[in-house]
Every structure is written in structure tokens, then in C-alpha cells.
């Protein structure tokens, strides 16, 4: 017996030692609980996940075993605040999987995925836990709950029913297996996209192959070559490399090569996603069916502002009807211009469009990115974006170099409100690298909540892929990149200014088709002369951006607006075609895709290319049956920003109302109600069509 006791004590001591050595398993001693990124190593993740799951299960078991009758506090709130350690571990791990991944982390993700799925099932299919939740829900009218508590109760109950709580034991087993397999499939999809993206480079050694490229693009190619240990110039499929190359290269053969590589990522070959796409769709249909929904889209949309696939289709059709003919005219104008300039081809191909549209813009608006970039030095843009938040909301950003980031490029800021109250830590990660996926996004390492009277403020992160400084030249943004910065910063403000008790109802935890409103409204300032004059200065001369350039920016605001709109609508159509299906399409993935997109095609479709195999937003991100929401949010922001235009773009009465009714409220009320409280009426697609100039008043 003594030996058993000694062994148990030794085991407990070993676990305590492990916990003390694992920075993921302890509350960070750094100010505001900032993650100890400088101490976190790959070997910490798996033990931390296992311990986090153990703790979370113990907390669930304690709720179930509580001998007291179910109450809001001992069941709903207890569930809301459970799993704190697991949340900390998973938020850090999965965010770094997107921004600072490596092969070891990929392997850990594959090992952890079934563990996390099993835990999710442990909660969502827990009959005794659901009995307690249902008991509180059934008595809700007599509980006298405050509005946020009632909202949490209703969402918790709905979450269980949507997660299979009402299924039979046999169906629960099938549901659990499908969910686990689905999780692994999305991981595999993402892994293939990253690997395929990194596998291709365009290696150039002849200066003649650089024809048409501005100095900043050539310098970027040179730097990439040096980083990869190659001679000459290297261009890859990260957007800061791919985008400018396609826009400026005079070599049509090389543009075609880049286009085909970019648009055939994970299509065939070693990192093939063609069958993975179908397998994901198959699992989603089966999951939806077992939960009582005809399609994955019907299941997903139930919790959105737009509630049904039919409503989504009607929304897309309403925008597409006037946009498609306008877009076809825009493409025809570009083609006519190219022909007049000596372009000798029967049709404009997709790899021609960026090049000739940029030439057309320069000829008709005398404006191109290389002319604007010197005025958008990254450091000045950072000050301007932060300054906009100061002017609208009173926020102050103070660098915190003493707090660690997860990569040397990451900068940390302490965000305080106008009264000096700490609001958030903000992590900014601007530059591309092989360990980071392409694109730009906002995320959080911790959300905002209040527990037992103690508030935890959020830890917010923004991730982009802006061009790195090259040699003596600083990082210079295109105007599009400035717009992207403002967009993701809008998401960040939504997280930073969250107020409420329950994390699942605060910040960006809102309906998918509402979450883009705070981000897309921020893009408007990138076109406002009054804003641009406040910061845009030439990085070499210090000269403020000339009024003529500002006028050209404003004039080009709606350049190719219909073309861009149709492309975005196409992504939404493709998303709904996959997720609105009642069965997996029989046709091969690229064949199915091309049939879906053919009616709205603006240029010839190219064999050997496919969007779906690398469409991470809908196959491994959170936008399945939700890509339309970008356009839905544009309708919201077009209507919302019109109030700023009416009252003044820096009007603090309007920004105060936007903060009070939108940014700080999360999902504490129905999102349609929140919008009406701010604007006084429901939005309509006409607002966006008018803003883009596609229809006239």
C-alpha cells in the first residue's frame, strides 16, 4: 500500500513538474495574460491538448454530476466558462498553424484532430448534460433572465440540437464518426493547398524575362531568389509576388505559366484535392441529413441573417442581373483597348486581364500602382490606420516590444480606450513567409469575457502578406493593400471593443453574414481625400500625395466594379452549388465547377484549372455556404457608410453609435435588430448597386 501511495505521489509530482514546464498549461505571468510565445515549443502542444481535454471533460462531468436542480448558473454559465485551458491551447495552436506552421505541427494537428472531435462529441452528444440544458431552457420564461443571459440560453440549447443531441444512440455514433472524418479531411485539404502553393516557383535568370516589371517587383523577385538560395529572380504564388507579376509582366507566356500554376493549386499531382473536395461534400451532406436538413447549406444558413438557400440565391440573382451585362461591357472595353494597342488574339484570356486592365487604367486614368506605392510606406499606413481608430473611437496604440510575438516580424501593441482603460493586446504580422498561408485575416488568441466579476480583455491578431522591405527600400503598399489593411483592422476593432459577459456572444462571434460589416465599412476611408491627405507622403521626399493623385484614386474607385462584383458572386455561386447539393456531383471536380460558372463566365474557361481545389474559405475555413456573406456585408456597409457621408466621415456621433450598436454588441441580440438599431431601417441591395455605379438613381 505504501508503495502505491509513493507511486501516486511521484506521478502527481511529475505531472505538476510537466505543467510548470509547459507554458500552455499555466496562466501566463505576462501583463494582460499575453501568451508566452518565446517559451512555447512544438513538444508542448500534444501534452497541452491532452491535459486541456482532460480538464474540460472533468468540468463537463462536474456539471452533469451536480446534485442540485439545473439552473442557469450551474448549467448554462458553467458550460460557457468550461474548457479554459483547452481554449488557450487550441487558439494558439490553430492560429499558428495558419501563420507559422511547420511539418511537425501538421503532424500534431492530424493526431489532435480526432481527439478534439471526440471531445466535441463528448459535449454535444452528452445526454445527461443536454437534459440539464433542456430543463433550464424549458423553464426560461420563468427565470427572469437578462437579455444577454436569455440569448446565451437560447443559443446553447440550439447548439445542442444542431449538434445532434436529439439523435438516437445509433445515429450519434454515425454522426461522431462522420464529424471526425470531416475534420481530418479539412486538415488534409489545407495541408495540400499550402504544400502546392510552396511547391511552385517561377525561376528567371534572363533579364529579358523581366520585361514590363517595375523596379519594386524586380527587387522583390531578387530578394525571393536570395532567400531561396537561387540565382536571378524568383516569383511564387504568394499574392505579393503573383499579383504584381500578372499585372505588369509584358511576357504573355510567363503570365500564362503563372496563371495556370496559381489556378491549378492542388489539382492533380502530389497534393491533389480533387477527391478531397468531393469527400468533404459527401461528409457534409451526410452530417446535414442525419441532423434533419436536406443540404449542408440549409443547415448552415439557419443561424445566419439570410436564413435559407433560396434567399441566398435570390440575393445573388438580384445583384447579378444588372452586374453581368455591365461586367461584360467592361471586359469588352479592355479587349478593344488591347487590340488597339497591338494585342493579337481572338479573345482576352484570364492571364491577360490584369495586365491589360492595368494598361487601360493607366491610359484612361493615368494611374498605376507603381505611381501610388511611394506614398504608402507601411509605417505611415500603420500610423494612419491606428490614427483613424483614434479619431473615430479615441483608441490609443502603444508598442510593447517587451511582450513576445510568435515570429520576429510580429509587433505587439497595447490598445487603450480614450479614458486610459486597457482594451486589448494587438498582434500585427504583416509579411509573407513559407510557413504562412496566403491572404489576410484577423483572429484572436483570447476573446473578451467577464467571469465572477473579473474581466478578461481580448488578445487580437491581424495577419497579412504585404511585400517585405527590400534592400534600402521600405515596405510600400499598393492602394489595394491599404484597403486590405483597413478591412482586417475593422475585424480587429470588432474584437478589441467587445463588451459583455459571455465570449460566445462578444466580438466577432456573430452571424457569418454579419461579421464582414465592421471590416468592409473601413475600406471606404481608403478612398476619402480628407483621410488620405492626413498621412500619404512620399517616402523619399516627404511630399504629401498630390491632389491630382487623390482625384485619380477617387475616379478609379468604381473601375471594373461590375467585373469585380461578378467574380465575387461567382465564388458565392460555386459555394452554394457545392453546399446546396443533395448528393455529391458525379462529374469530376473541375468539370462540375466549370458547368456551374459557365453562365456568368466573362472570359474563356481554361482547361487544367480549378478554383475549388484551393478554395480554402469554403473547404477548410468558416465560409462554407457563406461566401455570399461578403456581398451581403457590402450591402450593409454601403448603407451604413452613407450615414458617415451624410454627417461627416470623422463624425463621432455616428462612430459612437456604430460602436455602441454594432462593434461592442457582438451577438447579444439578433443581428438584424442590431443593424436596425444603428441605421433605423433594413438594408437593401440597391444601396450597393448605387454605390458601385452599376445602376443610377
Q: Which residue, 399, 412, 407, is CA-closest to 431?
A: 407
Supply the angle between the helices 103-124 and 42-65 in degrees, to the nearest 10.
Answer: 0
* Residue 663 to residues 275, 498, 515, 602, Cα–Cα distance (Å): 40, 7, 10, 37
Q: Which residue, 75, 79, 113, is CA-closest to 93?
A: 113
Q: How far apart are the first and last CA of the chain?
A: 88
| DSSP code per residue over 561-619 | HHHHHHHHHHHHHHHHHHHT-SS--SS-HHHHHHHHHGGG-SS---TT--SGGG-HHHH
Q: Grid cell 493547398 — which residue?
A: 193
Could you tell me if 221 and 448 are in contact, meaning their C-beta atoms sit under 8 angstroms apart? no
* Residue 485 to residues 98, 392, 526, Cα–Cα distance (Å): 18, 17, 10
Segment (H or E) for 424:
strand 422-429
Cell numbers standing for residue 529: 481625400
Active-site choice (488, 528, 593, 671): 488
Catalytic-residue membership of 488: yes
Could you tell me if 684 and 695 are in contact, meaning their C-beta atoms sit under 8 angstroms apart? no
Torsion angle, CA of 262/268/272/277, rounded to 10 degrees? 90
Could you tell me if 440 and 465 are in contact, meaning their C-beta atoms sit under 8 angstroms apart? yes
Cell numbers standing for residue 140: 426560461
Q: Which residue, 414, 419, 367, 335, is CA-closest to 548?
A: 367
Q: Grid cell 446546396 — which residue?
A: 580
Separation of alpha carbons 595 and 223, rounded Å: 41
How many other CB atoms are there within 10 angstroms of residue 170's CB atom?
8
Query: Could you list the active site residues?
Result: 488
Amino acid at each position: 500500500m505504501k508503495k502505491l501511495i509513493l507511486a501516486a505521489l511521484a506521478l502527481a509530482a511529475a505531472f505538476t513538474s510537466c505543467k510548470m514546464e509547459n507554458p500552455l498549461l499555466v496562466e501566463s505571468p505576462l501583463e494582460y495574460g499575453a501568451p508566452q510565445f518565446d517559451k512555447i515549443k512544438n513538444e508542448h502542444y500534444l501534452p497541452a491538448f491532452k491535459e486541456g481535454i482532460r480538464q474540460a471533460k472533468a468540468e463537463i462531468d462536474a456539471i452533469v454530476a451536480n446534485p442540485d436542480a439545473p439552473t442557469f448558473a450551474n448549467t448554462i454559465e458553467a458550460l460557457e466558462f468550461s474548457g479554459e485551458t483547452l481554449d488557450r491551447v487550441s487558439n494558439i495552436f490553430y492560429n499558428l498553424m495558419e501563420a507559422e506552421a511547420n511539418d511537425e505541427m501538421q503532424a500534431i494537428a492530424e493526431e489532435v484532430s480526432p481527439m478534439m472531435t471526440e471531445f466535441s462529441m463528448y459535449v454535444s452528444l452528452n445526454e445527461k448534460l443536454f437534459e440539464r440544458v433542456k430543463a433550464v431552457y424549458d423553464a426560461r420564461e420563468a427565470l427572469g433572465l437578462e437579455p444577454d443571459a436569455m440569448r446565451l440560453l437560447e443559443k446553447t440549447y440550439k447548439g445542442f440540437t444542431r449538434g445532434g443531441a436529439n439523435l438516437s444512440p445509433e445515429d450519434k455514433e454515425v454522426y461522431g464518426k462522420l464529424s471526425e472524418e470531416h475534420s481530418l479531411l479539412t486538415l488534409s485539404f489545407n495541408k495540400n493547398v499550402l504544400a502546392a502553393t510552396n511547391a511552385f516557383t517561377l525561376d528567371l535568370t534572363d533579364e529579358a524575362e523581366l520585361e514590363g516589371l517595375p523596379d519594386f517587383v524586380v527587387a522583390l523577385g531578387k530578394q525571393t531568389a536570395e532567400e531561396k538560395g537561387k540565382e536571378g529572380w524568383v516569383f511564387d504564388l504568394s499574392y505579393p509576388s503573383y499579383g504584381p507579376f500578372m499585372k505588369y509582366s509584358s511576357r504573355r507566356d510567363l503570365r500564362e505559366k503563372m496563371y495556370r500554376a496559381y489556378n491549378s493549386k492542388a489539382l492533380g499531382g502530389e497534393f491533389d484535392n480533387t477527391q478531397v473536395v468531393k469527400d468533404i461534400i459527401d461528409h457534409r451532406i451526410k452530417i446535414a441529413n442525419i441532423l434533419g436538413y436536406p443540404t449542408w447549406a440549409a443547415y448552415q444558413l439557419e443561424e445566419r441573417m439570410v436564413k435559407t438557400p433560396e434567399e441566398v440565391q435570390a440575393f445573388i440573382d438580384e445583384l447579378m442581373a444588372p452586374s453581368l451585362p455591365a461586367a461584360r461591357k467592361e471586359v469588352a472595353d479592355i479587349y478593344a483597348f488591347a487590340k488597339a494597342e497591338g494585342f493579337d488574339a481572338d479573345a482576352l484570356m484570364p492571364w491577360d486581364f490584369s495586365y491589360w486592365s492595368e494598361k487601360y487604367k493607366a491610359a484612361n486614368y493615368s494611374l498605376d500602382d507603381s505611381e501610388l506605392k511611394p506614398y504608402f510606406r507601411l509605417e505611415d499606413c500603420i500610423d494612419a490606420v491606428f490614427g483613424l481608430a483614434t479619431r473615430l473611437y479615441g483608441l490609443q496604440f502603444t508598442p510593447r516590444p517587451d511582450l513576445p510575438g510568435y515570429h520576429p516580424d510580429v509587433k505587439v501593441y497595447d490598445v487603450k480606450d480614450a479614458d486610459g482603460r486597457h482594451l486589448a493586446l494587438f498582434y500585427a504580422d504583416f509579411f509573407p513567409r513559407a510557413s504562412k498561408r496566403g491572404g489576410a485575416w484577423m483572429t484572436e488568441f483570447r476573446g473578451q469575457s467577464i467571469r465572477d466579476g473579473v474581466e478578461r480583455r481580448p488578445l487580437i491578431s491581424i495577419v497579412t502578406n504585404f511585400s517585405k522591405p527590400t534592400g534600402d527600400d521600405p515596405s510600400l503598399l499598393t492602394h489595394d493593400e491599404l484597403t486590405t489593411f483597413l478591412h482586417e483592422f475593422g475585424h480587429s476593432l470588432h474584437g478589441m471593443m467587445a463588451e459583455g459577459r459571455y465570449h460566445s456572444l462578444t466580438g466577432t462571434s456573430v452571424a457569418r453574414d454579419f461579421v464582414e460589416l465592421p471590416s468592409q465599412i473601413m475600406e471606404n476611408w481608403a478612398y476619402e481625400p480628407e483621410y488620405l491627405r492626413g498621412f500619404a507622403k512620399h517616402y523619399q521626399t516627404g511630399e504629401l500625395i498630390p491632389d491630382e493623385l487623390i482625384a485619380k484614386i477617387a475616379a478609379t474607385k468604381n473601375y471594373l466594379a461590375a467585373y469585380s462584383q461578378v467574380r465575387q458572386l461567382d465564388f458565392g455561386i460555386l459555394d452554394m452549388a457545392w453546399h446546396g447539393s443533395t448528393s455529391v456531383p458525379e462529374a469530376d471536380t473541375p468539370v462540375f465547377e466549370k458547368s456551374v460558372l459557365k453562365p456568368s463566365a466573362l472570359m474563356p474557361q481554361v482547361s487544367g484549372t480549378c478554383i475549388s481545389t484551393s478554395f480554402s474559405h469554403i473547404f477548410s475555413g468558416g465560409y462554407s455556404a457563406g461566401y455570399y456573406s461578403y456581398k451581403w456585408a457590402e450591402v450593409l456597409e454601403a448603407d451604413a457608410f452613407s450615414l458617415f457621408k451624410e454627417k461627416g466621415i470623422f463624425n463621432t456621433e455616428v462612430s459612437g453609435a456604430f460602436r455602441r450598436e454594432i462593434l461592442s454588441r457582438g451577438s447579444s441580440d439578433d443581428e438584424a435588430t442590431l443593424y436596425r438599431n444603428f441605421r433605423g431601417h433594413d438594408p437593401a441591395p440597391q444601396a450597393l448597386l448605387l454605390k458601385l455605379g452599376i445602376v443610377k438613381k
